[in-house]
Amino acid sequence: MRWVHAACAVVVVVVLQQCLAPVAPTAPGSSPSQRCVRPTDTQGQQLYEAVHGELVDRQIDQGGGYLVVIKPAGAAANQSVVVTRDVFEAVGAVQRSRMITLFAYIRSGVSGAFPPFSCVEL
C-alpha cells in the first residue's frame, strides 16, 4: 500500500511540473493575426529572444538545420537564425521583403542558451 502512495505522489509531481512549465509555442503558420507569447520569469526577466527584420531567404544547411535569413531593421548585414521546421514551413508562404518577427524561448532567464526560434509573427 505504501508503494501505491509513493507512486501516486510521483505522478502528481510530474503532472504539476508539466502543467507549470512554460510551453514553447510553435509557429502559428502564416496567419498575420496570430501573436507569439512573451513570457517572463517571476522577477520579470524575459524568457524569450525576438529578432525583427525583413525576410530575405530561407535555407537548409548541410547538417539539415533550418535557417531563416532576415535583414534586421537598421542593420547593414543580413542575419541567419536557426528555426524549427514549423517556422521554416510557415515562412515559406511569406513574400520576400515582408517584415517578420521570430521568437526563441528559454526556461530560465539565467541559462544564456537559446533553442531554435519556434514562433513567427507575420
Residue 63 within any structural domain of the chain = yes
58 lies in a domain? yes
Range of the domain at 52: 23-121
The CATH number assigned to the domain holding 69 equals: 2.40.50.140
Residue 57 inside a domain? The answer is yes
Cell of 77: 548585414
Task: Look at residue 10 and tell me if it is in a domain.
Answer: no
pLDDT number for residue 105? 92
Number of domains comprising the chain: 1
Look at the chain and count its residues.
122
Confidence (pLDDT) at 17: 37
Read off the pLDDT of residues 83-115 as tens digits, 9 standing for 90 and up: 999 999 999 999 999 999 999 998 776 666 778
Q: Is 8 contained in some domain?
A: no
Q: CA-to-CA distance for 46 and 56, rounded, in angstroms? A: 27
pLDDT tens digits, one per residue of 17-74:
333 344 444 444 444 447 999 999 888 889 999 999 999 999 999 999 999 999 998 8
- Residue 106 located in a structural domain: yes
How deeply is 36 buried, as exposed, middle or buried, from its count of CB atoms within 10 A (0-12, 13-18, 19+)?
Answer: buried
Residue with the three cell numbers 535557417: 67
Spatial contact of 97 and 55, defined as CB atoms under 8 Å apart? yes
